[in-house]
Structure 1
Amino acid sequence: MTSPITLRLAELAPEYDRSAAFPAESLQAVHEAGLLTATVGERYGGPGGRVAETARILHTLGQGDPSVALITAMTLNTHARQAVQPHWPDELYARVLKESEKRPVLINHARVEPDLGSPARGGLPATLARRTADGWSLSGRKRFVTGAEGLDWFLVWATTDEPEPRVGTFLVPGGSPGIEIADRWDQLGLRASGSHDVAFHGVEIPYENVIGLGPHGPAAEQDNRAGAALHLPLAALYLGVARAAQAFFHTFAHSRVPANLGHPVARTERFRRTAGEIEVLLTAAEQLVLGGAALVDAGDTSYTPEQALGARVLADRHSVRAVELAVRLLGNPGLARGNPLERHFRDIQCAPVHAPQEDISLLTIGTKALNGTKAPTGTQAPNGTNSPAGTKAPSETTASGEAQAPTDTKALIV
C-alpha cells in the first residue's frame, strides 16, 4: 500500500520537475511527517533512526519525488553522524534541533569544486578559510550543492590560510551575507533537487563554527557504519524510483487494451515476462540493501564496507535496468512527457553519479578480494614482480560517507 507521504510528493513532483523550483511544499510535508529528524539521536530526545530506517524512509520518498528524497537524505545523514559521534558545538546543534521542531531545517555538505571535482577522487579544496579577529572568512566556489536555495546550514569543506594549512568543515548559516547561487542546476534528472553551484564571497562565521579541523591526510580507521550509512540509503532511494516506474508499467499494462487484441496487454506473455524480470531485479536489490542495512545496525562485524559498496553498485545497476525495461516495452508512450515514466527514466540516470562512483567502488572491492587471495611467497606476478604486496590501496570510505582516493589519483570533474 502506497504511503500518504509518497502520494503527496508524487502529486507535487510533476510541476516541480517542470519548473525546477525549490520543492518547499514537498519538504514541508516531509517535515510534518516527522521524517527530516528521524535520525536525531536518542541522546538528544530524537527517534534514533539508524541505517535501515533511513533506507526505508528514502525508499518511500524516492517513490514520490527523488529530488525531495535526496535533499532529505543529506539532512538525515548529518543527524545520523551526530548521533553516532557528536562533533558539532553543543549550543549550535541544540539550536538546530530547536528550530527543527517548528519548520524544515535543511543541512548539506558543500565539498565538490570546479577544479577539484569530487573529493572522492582525492585532492585538497581550493576554498579558503582566512582567520579574522572574530572567526573565519570563507571564499571559494562549490558545485552540486543539493538543496542549495533552501539550506539552513552549508557544511563547507575548506583549507585554512595558516602557515601550516589545515582542512576542516566550516558551519555556515544559509542566510549569511556573501553567499551566491553562482550557476543554476539544469540537468536531465532530479531537476527539483536544486543542486546549484554556490559561491562564498568572504562569508564571515564565528571561530567555533568548524568541525574536524586538522592536517590533510588519510581518513582515520572506520567501522562498517561509516560508508554503509550513506551508500545503502542512497541505493534504497533509487530503488524507490524504480518501484514508481514499475507501478506505472503495471497500470499501463492493465489499462491498455489494443483493438486487435481484445484484452489488456498485461495478459500477454511479453508483458508478463518483462514484469517478472523487473520484479526479480528490484526484489533482489532490495534484499541486498535492506538486509545489509539491518546487519550494519546489528553491529555485525562480518558485514564489510566492501559488501555495502557492492550492494550499492548492484542496486544502482538493477534500478537503471528495471526502468529501461519498462520504457523499452512501452515504446513511445514510455517516453511521453505526459506520463511519470519519462520522469522516472530521467531521474534514475542519476543513480550511478553519486560518489564513490562505480569504477572506484569496483577498484576498492577488487583490491580487497585480490589481497585476500595473495599468491604464495615468491610467486611471480605477470609483470615479473612479487605479487601484490606492494599494491597501493584504493579509495577507502571516510566517516563522512565520501571516499578518500589514493594520493596519486588524478582529480576528475564529476
Structure 2
Amino acid sequence: MTKPNVSDSFIRNEREAEIAKRADQLAVKLAERAPKHDEEGSFPFENFADLHQAGYLKQTVPKQYGGDEISLYELVLAQERLARGDGSTALAVGWHMGTMLQHRNTRPWPEALYEWFCREVVENGAMINHFASERATGSPSRGGKPETTAVKTPDGWLITGRKTFSTLSPILEYFTVSASIADTDEVGEFFVRKTSGVHIEETWNTLGMRATGSHDLILQDVFVPDDKLISRSGSIPDKKRIDDGNGWLLHIPACYIGIAHAARDFAIQFARSYRPNSLPGPISELPNIQQQIGQIEADLITARTLLYTVADRWDRYPEGRIALKRDLGLAKYIATNHALRIVDQAMRIVGGTSLSRRLPLERMYRDVRAGLHNPPMDDVVLRNLAQRALTEER
C-alpha cells in the first residue's frame, strides 16, 4: 500500500478528505489479510469488524437515524480507496453501502422497519443485501422470473428456494429475497431474518473475488410475517417505487477502479526501484516503460473523471436521475474495461515476476475480471447507448 495521496484532485473538501483518510487506513489493514483469504477462499470476518468499529458501515445511513448520510460521490470515493486494499471486501461491503444509500432515497420499506434496521447498522454493525440471482434465471437484470416461491399462510409466508451469488451470506443476519408468489403471476420482495430453514451452502470457489462469500443461499419453508412483505409486482395497494436511476450501483465500478489504482501504484513503485545489471538506472527511465505508464495514467484518469462526474451529476440534479441511467451504465463500462487494461499493463511492466503469488498483481488481475459479470453488462450498456442515439430527434 502507498501513502494516501493528499493531492488527489477528486477530493474537494475537508469532509471528503476525512472520508478518504478513513478508507485509506482501513485499506492498509485489508491489504495485509487479502492474500490469506484469497488463497483459502475464506470470508474475512475480521475485516467487517474493523469496518464497523471505524464507522464505515453507517456512512450511507441517514443522519436522523445515526448515520453520516454521505452522498453518492462520497460513496464512490470511499469505495474506490477501500478497494485499493482488498477488492473482495470492498465489493462485498459495497452491496450493503449502496443498498442503504438507495433505500435512503427511495424508502421502499415501511418506515418503522427502515428506522429499526438503520439503528441496527449504526449500533451493531448489521448489513443488508438483496438476493435475486438463481441458476435457472441467470442475472435478475435480464428479467427472469424467480423459481423461489412464497406460499401464503394465515399470518405470513413460507419461502422456499435457492439463491446464487449471495454476497455477504456468511455474515448477514438479515437480507431481502425475491420470490414468485404462488398461484399468481406476481413477484414479491421479502425481508428475511436468518433463522431455522436458512442454510448457506459454500459453493463460492472462483477465479477472482474469492473472499466475497457469494455462496448459495437455501431457504426451506422459511416463515416471513405479513409485515415483512416489502413489495409485490402488480399489487395496486402497494405504493409505487421511486426510480432513482440506480445510481447506487456506482459502488461496482468504484471497486474495480480501486483495484486498478493499486496495481498502478505497485507497477510504478517497481519501475522506480528495479534496476537490472544491464542498465545504468531503474527501468522507469526506459522510454517503453514510460510509454506504458503513460497509457495507465490515461486510462485511469479517463475512467475516474467519468465516474466522479456522473456521481456528482446524480447528487446535484435529483430530477434528472432517471435520464442519467445510460451515463451511469457507461461509467461502469469504461471503469471496468479500463481497469482490465490497467492491470494488464501493470503486469507487463513488472514482467514475469507479476505472475508470482508472492505479489498482489496476479490477484488483482483475477479480481478485476469479475467486473465483466456485475451489472449492468457490457452488451446492455452499449445497446442502451445505441437506442438513445437512434431515438434522438434530428
TM-score (norm 2): 0.89
Identity %: 33
Residue number in structure 2 paired with 1:293: 311
SS where residue 137 of structure 2 aligns?
A: coil
Unaligned runs of 5+ in 1: 375-414
Report deviation, 1:120: 1.0
Pick from 67, 73, 92 the counterpart of residue 71 of structure 1: 92
Residue 238 of structure 1 pairs with residue 256 of structure 2: yes
Letter in 1 for 2:338: H
* CA 30–206 in structure 1, closer or farther in 2 if over 3 Å, else same: same
User: Quick one: distance in 1 between partners of 2:271 and 2:391?
Assistant: 49
Equivalences for 1:181-330 in 2 at 5 Å? 181-215=200-234, 225-230=244-249, 232-299=250-317, 301=320, 304-330=324-350
Deviations 1:325-347 (A, max 9, x none): 11123221111111011111111
Letter in 1 for 2:201: A
Pick from 38, 46, 60 the counterpart of residue 59 of structure 2: 38
Report deviation, 1:266: 1.2
Report deviation, 1:215: 2.2
User: Quick one: distance in 2 between partners of 1:5 and 1:339?
Assistant: 20
Report deviation, 1:171: 0.8
Report deviation, 1:222: 6.4
Deviations 1:71-96 (A, max 9, x none): 21111122112211222233333332
User: Quick one: distance in 1 between partners of 2:141 and 2:291?
Assistant: 40
Residue number in structure 1 paired with 2:162: 141
Residue number in structure 1 paired with 2:127: 106
Pick from 303, 328, 334 the counterpart of residue 354 of structure 2: 334
Residue 55 of structure 1 pairs with residue 73 of structure 2: no
User: Quick one: distance in 1 between partners of 2:173 and 2:382?
Assistant: 35
Residue number in structure 2 paired with 1:151: 172
Deviates more, 1:340-349 or 1:40-49: 40-49
Contact in 2 for aligned 1:184/1:194 (Cα 8 Å): no
SS where residue 349 of structure 1 aligns?
A: helix
| Count of aligned residue pairs for this structure pair | 369
User: Quick one: distance in 2 between partners of 1:221 and 1:292?
Assistant: 23
Contact in 1 for aligned 2:60/2:69 (Cα 8 Å): yes
Residue number in structure 1 paired with 2:14: none
Residue 94 of structure 1 pairs with residue 94 of structure 2: no
Contact in 2 for aligned 1:70/1:193 (Cα 8 Å): yes
Root mean square deviation, CA, Å: 2.0
User: Quick one: distance in 1 between partners of 2:241 and 2:173?
Assistant: 31
Contact in 1 for aligned 2:57/2:122 (Cα 8 Å): no
Letter in 2 for 1:317: N
User: Quick one: distance in 2 between partners of 1:102 and 1:157?
Assistant: 27
Residue 178 of structure 1 pairs with residue 197 of structure 2: yes
User: Quick one: distance in 2 between partners of 1:361 and 1:119?
Assistant: 16
Deviations 1:251-275 (A, max 9, x none): 2112211011132111111211111
Relative contact order, higher structure (CA 8 A, sep 6+): 1
Residue number in structure 1 paired with 2:9: none
User: Quick one: distance in 1 between partners of 2:71 and 2:230?
Assistant: 22
Higher helix share: 2
User: Quick one: distance in 2 between partners of 1:318 and 1:117?
Assistant: 26
Report deviation, 1:213: 1.5
* CA 216–77 in structure 1, closer or farther in 2 if over 3 Å, else same: farther
Pick from 147, 152, 166 the counterpart of residue 131 of structure 1: 152
User: Quick one: distance in 2 between partners of 1:238 and 1:358?
Assistant: 15
Contact in 2 for aligned 1:145/1:198 (Cα 8 Å): yes
Report deviation, 1:216: 8.7
User: Quick one: distance in 2 between partners of 1:31 and 1:355?
Assistant: 27
Contact in 2 for aligned 1:169/1:213 (Cα 8 Å): yes
Unaligned runs of 5+ in 2: 5-23
